[in-house]
Structure 1
């Protein structure tokens, strides 16, 4: 099988790529020399078994700040991006930040962490946490957005570059529409989907709109959006960090775990622990001079 191994991260140098090439060759794989895609990004075209290539590359790069993606060379550039929001496209968990305004951050963050690790059902955990925010002034949402929410490094470049090259980009979150609408506009997504916080008389009621958008709804969104543009799932890219992202990550043509929980990182096609979100562009074979940068 024609494959490509992409190395991205602070320690990704030509020397490191050459070391991986030697290790892959030693394992019986036919490997060409490294091509530079940009600063701290190299790719190695090769022939062979992808699982063997992944295992060899991971062993050779152990201890280095390098993310690696091994995938079929054909169809690398994806036509659909579906991205999680909290702790993926942005730097925080919005619900936890709202909890801080209510003086409940420690309690609610603990539930969030368990849900993201897959220890709690997402839907029930969301209802419980939102219920704890009953009575919080609705104005806290804008405060949280203004004071706490920032795009993660590379997010805007990733989305804008894919969009400029014809990909459909969707922000699909188990969070809330108040935040996804603003984050989608800031990053350049074409559309956003999320849950709705119910308000009355200027305060949160402690209820969330039903049905709740969780793990299965994210997968359904990936499938529906791919069908709308008549793209096979092999032409899709999904990225996230928590257990409710796992189904869409596994179903996508390229599923990436970004700074993810162990459960997700272990089952994704690739993970990004060291580079910023432009790694997803390099994984698709984009060169740095193709990036859309403000």
Structure 2
């Protein structure tokens, strides 16, 4: 698994370049497999990237009807709330590109479930159902270890997008809280989140790390400390941003401000 660091001169260039990179990756994956799967994130730079996809001249080259969309996390708010990551993604991208509604897998809101844990359990079942359909084509009945069994409860994630908070949280996995420690579940409900709203749903770190490629997309000087600690190899329990690692590739796509505290040896060669 390779780790690459790409530093961009501004927020705007970061969003536009990440959008172009995503379009290219989806095209390449569709050419190879016929479809592609992306896990979306929220946040300022995440949503800006989705808007940049729509504004790209190459947007129409992707067959969006054959792209599967999942989410890394969601705020436990009503399904139509403007604070919902899914609502923001719909406004920025999904309503503009002719997606197949059956391929869009949102996390259930507070109008549908009594609490975040119930929504997380339902999302786990949805992931497992998609994985079962995917694996039924090539199931040879071999014995599998625990890690393989976890991954077989997940569909293939070609690209998983993540942002980072100033406290180094990823998705809705916060430092020192229970969610970042979970290893035996795919999705967790988060209560008493230090960042409003208090209720959230999140993929766990093992689910995140099942992705073929994980892209850490980060902008702003307030994120520089978290980026620096993560790339220096901090403990993921204290610095969740240090935990993501794609099966094939991990990309750090960051702007100049967020790169201010990246260890110098990594700045020189762009990898670790």
TM-score category by the smaller chain? under 0.3
TM-score (normalizing by structure 1): 0.24
TM-score (normalizing by structure 2): 0.25
Greater relative contact order, per chain length (Cα 8 Å cut-off, separation 6+): 2
Higher-Rg structure is 1
